[in-house]
Chains A and B, each alone.
Chain A
Amino acid sequence: MGAGGHSRHTCLASATLTRETAAAMTASLSTRSLIGLIGAPIAFLAPLLLDVPGLDEPGERALAIMLLAVVLWVTEVVPLHATAAVIIIGQITMISDAALVDLPADFEPAPFADYYQALADPVLMLFLGGFFLADGAAKFSLDRALAGTLLRPFGTRPAGVFLGIMLITAVLSMFMSNTAVAAMMVAIVLAVTADLDATDPRRIGLALSIPVAANVGGMGTPVGTPPNAIALSGLLDIGEAITFIGWMIRVFPFMLLVLAFGWLVITQLYRGNNSPISVAIDTAFDRSGHAKIFYVTFAATVLLWLTEPLHGVSSTIIGFVPVVVLLSTGVFTADDLRNVRWNVLWLIAGGIALGKGVGGTGLDEWLVGLVAWQVLPLVLLLVIMTLVAISLSSVISNTATANLLIPIGLSLATSGAIEASPVLVGLVIATACSLAMVLPVSTPPNAIAYATGMLPTGKLAVMGLLIGGAGLLVFGLLAPWVWQTLGLVP
């Protein structure tokens, strides 16, 4: 609190709930950083200094890198994308053919360039295309115009408004940043809630509908949220390419199911006296030449993604089309290119590199051998995986969770230690990473909704638990059964 004992110094500020919470978060973050600072070297050095039973030298080195990544991603003592860079340099200097300390003669290390290649993985190019579409939608306010146009048919009854907001938020999140979509939708909703009484339950309903839909919506397409990319890339690496439409066919219906459940709960709990709410958004579409080029590019890219089975061109190649078109036509400038979220691409690359390292050093076999997986029934295994992913991503970044869990899950599946196919495991873990929303800090959309002050922490926690529970049933049990029954997973 400022300088004490100063006569002219008027300290008006009384600590509010928000500020106390913020202060508590800062305090716990610094404890977290401290744990990271102390834990990181220990985690890194332990496998190198101690002899890990059953693990050869290359595996021990890969384990050291992996444990370091775990500590760094969990504690965020360095930024998430920096951890990705740490992984790559670690792999190059420790387990590649450019290793600084010689590896055993019987081990054939991968060329160091292979680890750099994670930064230009085909799935990253798919995401780059996704980012171009997302950034363009924001640049030309297509997101806002679409939201306004699409919301109108949902009327003014709370149930209809909640449904409209959730569907639009989810659909936009399938292509855009969940965080950016949530920020835009909350801004729209703030205009409405200003007129509502502070105790009106519909305020909570409106504030809650957005993060739920933004978090869940991202799983709907391969480019919706980074955990999807980690799964796709890991699967591509073992020859299990999933098409854009293939992902949507498997995931989208179940995403809608979770969304419908969320909508039912919100409508039941927070429709209030059921009196109308009017959400008005100015819906002017940008009609400039550049905007039109962008609309056409957007539509063509999505169309090409959806029709991959017809033309056979990989979605990772089509992802580069909007990049080429928008840059060549000058619709995207050098500034726009620089503003691409390279940090997110690097974070994904870290997960991809980690997967390569785990697979290339025998660490995967060792991890698989740690537990007698065979004694666990498949159903239980899937539930455990989902639960671990949801829990972990409640407290750390969804992408970091996927980065850590997907390589392990895919190793289990490819080794034959468990009866599930890699595709099944990849889908289950990736989707589970989008189901965590218990705390304000669980995801950025949660933090945004919470910052409005309309959403008591308890209500968010209850909703988060309900969505997590429903998601666990849907993606841990129902979806795997349906996929297997319909032959959608090998």
Chain B
Amino acid sequence: MIRDLPLNAGLFTAGIVAIFLACLLGSTSLSIADVFGGLTATGADEHSVIIWQIRLPRAFAAFITGAALAMSGAALQGLLRNPLAEPGVLGVSAMSVLAATLVLYFGLATASSLILPAAAIFGALLATALLGFAALRTGSVVTLILIGVGISSFSGALMSLLLNFAPNPFSLADMVNWTLGSVANRSLTDLAYSLPFILAGLGLLLASARGLSALTLGEEAAAGLGLNLMHQRILVIVGAGLATGGSIAIAGAIGFVGIITPHVMRPLVGHDPGRILLPSALAGGVLLVAADILIRILPTYAELKLGVVAALIGAPAFVWIAIQKRSGGLP
């Protein structure tokens, strides 16, 4: 995508700067030189440990989560041709969190490190598949979003039921943490289990970019252009399921990144739903790293959870986007 090279290069640089800034923050104060030394393992050993074991994994976790959610949101918006579609709004995140929490509730997560990511991804894929089937039956995007709201509410209700039956305060706290969403205390190993799924998901979504552009003309015209609609739906649904599920395995539920980031990027790529994917991913990563820096700078009594802050900013933005919606031709 040569056309968007300057934009993507700029966002990529911003990502590196943001991750570096995130490495400066923490309970031990490190100078810029210390961070450089830690990163390149040329400085003091404890600096290397702090950077590579604590700060860098946290910054990476934030970036990867933001990238996965933002690109999933952008792709779902392109497929459903509605700027309000997003993993959180469509119930994909809720279902994924529910599946992850179930695994925690039954104590299965201790058996293997792969079980939690697998459960989160299974939940996300289940929700996207449900939406995919619904999309085949109904032509109305509004109906589809309402189905997503239904999936979200039902998963939320089951979550409450699980919390209700939590055997002890510790497991309750464990499960609640999932629903709040955070990237604190993640190790590179935690990331390594989810990363392959996320990368596979993002790859599938990028492969769907051309088709998303064509869908601007509507499904009938896009099919006339030579797009295989079924193939396109499967690419986006599986791609968004893998990426969202993988991100939730890392960070729990973090809402609205998938809706705000594409909204900001859209005018920069000429409103093209295919070109928007990569810039959205990069910007989503930057956004979450920046938000994670912000919650650590804010002098609050207890450290704020990333998901809480995302929702506090994101929900009003969602309403604002809904009111602003340009190109209002869709049913």
Q: Do A and B bind each other?
A: no
